[in-house]
Chains A and B, each alone.
Chain A
Amino acid sequence: MTNVHLEQLKRSLVIMKKDVLIYYLKGPVIIFGILIPLFLFLAFLSGSKNLPIDFLVAGLIGMTMLFTATSVSPVITPWESQMNTLERLMSCPISISTLILGDMLASVIFGTLISLVPVLIGFILGVSIFHPIILVLGIILASLCFSALGLLLATPPTNVPSNVMMVSSLVKFPLVFISGIFIPLENMPFWGKVIASFSPLTYFMDITRYSLQNSSYYHIILDFGVMIIFTIILYSLAVFLHKRTLQMRI
């Protein structure tokens, strides 16, 4: 890594720190990050009492990860633009990929830490973790992947956060239903499996089920490989689109 890249990486960390201080360390953000997936899970639990608890906790981890890693990252850029701080950032010696990486890292920290809450709930409910290292690696990779997804959702050049939230919900909720959270992949029809294979959440769910239930639909290496590919594609696409739309926000 050259000095220039190292310097840009350091500046990404400065952006990350700024995001954490300004956007993530807020009571409502943290509480809603935990409550929304928890309520969805409880609603699901009340209707499916015959499913094993480890299956349900794995689903809760998946939902929490998706909702927390994509909760704030899509609205940071519209917020910054609305608050007139984006122009200042764009005048600093940082590339757009540095800016996006900083936003992504803040989201990764938030997603990773909040996802530990359902893991703790699992402990309390007596769920055992067969592969803790795989679970931790999976959580970190998933938080990277879904944070990149969140930043991709931030690319439409609108300065109204609620518009982005609407688009974001239109993407997130269908993902929950097609990714094997409520219906195990093996019980899905063929067309369901085909659709599920296009969702990164499917592979994260497979990793969590492997970690908690010691069984997975795909090979665990394939799950990690596909998630890494999804992360690279989503991040690159987010950077590419932000380069095109960021100027339109000023």
Chain B
Amino acid sequence: MTFAVEVRNLVKSYNGITAVNGVNFKVKEGEIFGFLGPNGAGKTTTVRILTGIIKPDSGEIRVLGYDIEKEPIKAKEHLGVVPETSNTYVDLSARQNILLMAGLYGVSKKDAGERADELLRKFNLYKRRDDKVKGFSKGMKQRLILAMALIHDPQLLFLDEPTSGLDVQSSYLIREMLLKLLDEGKTIFLTTHNLEEANKLCGRVAIISHGKIAAIDTPDNLKKMIKKLNLVELTFEKPVPLEELYKLDEIHNVEIKGDKFYLNTDDVNNLMLALTEYVSLKNNKIISFNTLEPTLEEVFLDVTKEVSSDD
């Protein structure tokens, strides 16, 4: 298997504070790799090191086969970067901003013009192409920043919080574009706070907390990881006293929210049989029965809590 990014024992400190502490991971070619973590966990520092913006204290990083410390320019030629705090040149037009990037990535003038127009169309900015960016909304600016990152048709994209604080339309457009890029075989390294976004887009997700990787796997496997007990949501036709449910051996815990009961069990099948017997005895009925999976948010909170308590 070929890896677009390989990180071994990455360490970076600022003024005695360790921002990234022995991070290891690999990003496969042609996947969207999500990089999640709370504020100050070391996400942006990691992205800045991987994109050659800052140097690590120690560790080995290979990006598209290049050692980012020894051959930063060769590696950067093939990267598209949307930094977290990135901005456009507001005194230039949208097209001028894209062409500036084209020049800095060595794209020929002819190709740059054609590709700039194509990207402006894709990101719904073509009508405003000659307007100064000063008057653009945040969503338009962010779409432009992504277009700037794509001008040289990079193999690998680093996106640091690309949809943070954007309107629904812009977020949707960017997410759709990322999926199209994935279909074209690009690799995408996505840093996000939006767990739903990571769940929908990412093939694999790494969760970083306190400068360490707390978990790394597919979103589904991560959810299974904390699925120590199954959660069942059900409603009854008639009211059920809580103490009666606790008498059933299969139930570990019960919570009531509105008319819904949330039961924790380690055997859904036996719980179902026990409940069927119980309702027929009590002349009651089960109206709905759903088994619930933990959300990525719960996984996130669980693993970041574990790392935090380890410290």
Contact = CB atoms under 8 A, between A and B. Distances in A.
Interface of A: 4, 7, 10-11, 14-15, 17-18, 21-22, 83-85, 87-95, 247, 250
Secondary structure of the A contact surface, majority rule:
helix
Contacts of B73: 4, 93-95
B106 A11 contact: yes
Contacts of B74: 93
Contact of B51 (A21, A22, A91, A247): A91
Contacts of B87: 83-85, 88
29 contacts: A4-B73, A10-B103, A10-B106, A11-B106, A14-B103, A14-B104, A17-B103, A18-B100, A22-B89, A22-B91, A22-B92, A85-B88, A87-B48, A87-B53, A87-B85, A88-B81, A88-B145, A91-B51, A91-B52, A91-B79, A92-B105, A93-B72, A93-B76, A93-B104, A93-B105, A94-B104, A247-B53, A250-B48, A250-B53
B96 interface: yes
B100 A14 contact: yes
Interface in B47-78: 48, 51-55, 72-74, 76-77
Interface of B: 48, 51-55, 72-74, 76-77, 79, 81, 83, 85-92, 96, 100-101, 103-106, 145, 148
Contacts of A91: 51-53, 76, 79, 81, 83
Given A11-B106, A14-B104, A21 B91 contact: yes
Contacts of B48: 87, 250
Contacts of B89: 18, 22, 85
Nearest to B86: A88
Contact of A92 (B55, B76, B85, B91): B76
Contacts, number: 74
Nearest to B160: A87
A15 B48 CA distance: 22
B92 A21 contact: yes
A90 B53 contact: yes
Nearest to A247: B54
Contact of A11 (B85, B90, B96, B103): B103
Given A15-B104, A85-B86, A93-B76, 8 more contacts: A14-B100, A21-B96, A83-B90, A84-B87, A85-B89, A87-B85, A88-B81, A88-B148
Nearest to B85: A84
Contacts of B103: 10-11, 14, 17
B100 A93 contact: no
Contacts of A89: 104
Contacts of A87: 48, 53, 83, 85-86
B104 A247 contact: no
A90 B83 CA distance: 10
Nearest to A14: B103
Nearest to A92: B104
A17 B88 CA distance: 16
Contacts of A95: 73
Nearest to B158: A91
A90 B89 CA distance: 15
Contacts of B104: 11, 14-15, 89, 92-94
A250 B79 CA distance: 19
A93 B54 contact: no
A21 B103 CA distance: 15
Contacts of B72: 93
A102 to B, nearest CB: 10
A88 B106 CA distance: 16
A83 B101 CA distance: 17
Contacts of B92: 18, 21-22
Contacts of B53: 87, 90-91, 247, 250
A229 to B, nearest CB: 29
B148 to A, nearest CB: 8
A4 B81 CA distance: 22
Contacts of A17: 100, 103
Nearest to A88: B86
The residue in A14, A22, A91, A247 that gathers the most chain B C-beta atoms within 10 A of its C-beta is: A91
A224 to B, nearest CB: 33
Contacts of A7: 106
A188 B203 CA distance: 75
B104 to A, nearest CB: 4
Nearest to A82: B87
Contacts of A250: 48, 53-54
B83 to A, nearest CB: 4
